[in-house]
Structure 1
Amino acid sequence: MNQDRRPVIGLSTYSETARMLVWEREFAMLHASYIGAVRRAGGIAVLLPPQDGGADEVLSRVDGLVLAGGADVDPRRYGQAPDERTSRPRTLRDEWEFALARAALDRDLPLLAVCRGLQILNVALGGSLHQHLPDLTGDERHQPGPGTFGTVEVNLEPETCTAALLGSRTQVRCYHHQALADLAPALRVTGRADDGTVEAAEVHGKLFAVGVQWHPEEDSEDTRLFAGLVTEARRYAGRREKGAP
């Protein structure tokens, strides 16, 4: 890959009814903090809004993928009835992001899964979720209130990609009331909060397929995870240009 060319990172987006200027209608959108995190890490961000089909074709045009945070995954996709505190299903977004996750893993495309993205990854690979984490932990430290990020300490497993980027322990900003329950066979837990909540995982056998339950895009001073993604995306683009598998 030409070292002057920045790798292109695809970002999954919301699809929500919202008000903007004089319009109240359906929007495909994403927090600008994700775009800033990709830019600071040396990449170029492109948005991949939910749509019917075409996930593999879209990924043939990017060098890396971020599965972004958002609303709860439909519990019916992991065989459970919805809890009353689980948000309404976003069927199109779920289907689109499951397809993106599977296509990225098939290609060994560098992947960073953030919050909901980690949950999508686990469910897509056969795992399940705790629908309301405070029922297990007895507190709301992972999501203190609407629009308020929590702060937790995460212990990371040695000799993992996550620990190589972040060290053995890190403080993170999180906003989630759900978490991984049954772990998909293809995943390895690489980080837990002090209360045992899974906060990071990686896909076995992939060069860079990292998921975190927290929101690294919200810390403009710490680009390590996005920098790791961009570095691997640059290598991926170089292999693709040379026709390497």
Structure 2
Amino acid sequence: MTGSGRPVIGLSTYRVDAQWGVWDGEAVLLPTTYTRSIEAAGGIAMLLPPPSEGLPAAEFADTAVSRIDGLVITGGSDVDPSRYGAERHRETDEPHGQRDVWELALLDAAAAVSLPTLGICRGVQVMAVHGGGTLHQHVPEVVGHSAHSPGGRVYGEVAVSIEPGSRLASLVSASTVGDRLTVSCHHHQAVATHPGFRATAWSADGVLEAMEADGSADRFNLGIQWHPEERDDAGLFGGLVRACTPSG
């Protein structure tokens, strides 16, 4: 740990135009459901905004990772498909290059020191791309329905099957019926290939819902496609926080 007491968990953030009070301008944002979940699990949340254009992302990431005990790559807009050698699909968001560069740099820095890492929604996709993988750019075209992202501010409820004996299974078992878990999803993209990771959860239509690093027994390095912070699901956040302690 970086110090005594509660572990400090860094969370990547949006850097977007926003309104607050009488102000209107660029802001660093993250839903409080993330920080509240970290706090409930026994950690302290620290926001990690993308550096301004022109600043050295790798240097910033190395320094940031040296000051935290764990890392969460959070949800958000689509990864730029050029990052995995694909043309942009008509349904894919406009690229947010600043955030892509930042989160990939954070993953580089985290890997260098075996920092416990959790990827959520966009986060699991960034982890796959970081490892040399690819994404399905529009899941409804792959599975024939939009249950994973009904649209607007509504989360889809999806049942996922979890691989018995996986790290994931040990973290969410209290919330499952058998090896199945109902989760809150809001994504139209998904991981297609994932070098260095093994899939550990799937929805009935075959969409990958979770993956963890091969040989990850000694490092918490897990990505999930759903949003546990929206269901007050403490298991995953608790697992991350425990992994950041000397006995974790």
Smaller-chain TM-score bracket: over 0.9
CA distance in 2, matches of 1:77, 1:3: 36
Name the amino acid aligned to 1:193: S
Q: RMSD between aligned alpha carbons?
A: 1.6
CA distance in 1, matches of 2:85, 2:4: 47
Per the alignment, in what secondary structure is the counterpart of residue 244 of structure 2? helix
TM-score by length of 2: 0.91
Q: What is the SS of the residue equivalent to 1:147?
A: coil
Shift in Å at residue 4 of structure 1? 6.7
Q: Which amino acid aligns with 1:163?
A: A
Consecutive unaligned residues of structure 1, counting only runs of 5 or more, are 240-245
Code of the aligned partner of 1:148:
V
Match of residue 102 from structure 1: 108
**2:81 alignment counterpart:** 75
Q: 8 Å contact 2:155–2:185 — kept in the other structure?
A: yes
| Structure 2 Cα separation of the partners of residues 194 and 2 of structure 1 | 41
CA offset at residue 198 of structure 1? 0.2
State the one-letter code of the partner of 2:44: I
Q: Does 1:37 align with 2:49?
A: no
Q: % of aligned pairs identical?
A: 46
SS in 2 for 1:234: coil
| Alignment match of 2:244 (pick from 202, 208, 233) | 233
Which of 140, 143, 146 is the equivalent residue of 1:134?
140
1:18 aligns with 2:18: yes
Rounded to whole Å, the distance in 2 between the matches of 1:231 and 1:59 is 17
Distance in 2 (alpha carbons) for counterparts of 1:130 and 1:69: 16
Q: List per-residue Cα deviations over 1:167-223 (Å, max 9, x = no partner).
A: 32211001000001122x211101000110000001123310010000011112x20
2:223 to 201, 204, 211: 211
SS at match of 1:24: strand
Runs of 4+ more than 2 Å apart: 1-4
Alignment correspondent of 2:176: none
Aligned residues: 235
Output the TM-score relative to the length of structure 1: 0.92
Aligned to 2:46: 46
The correspondence for 1:159, drawn from 165, 180, 200, is: 165
1:202 equivalent in alignment to 2:208 = no
Q: Distance in 2 between matches of 1:189 and 1:106?
A: 23
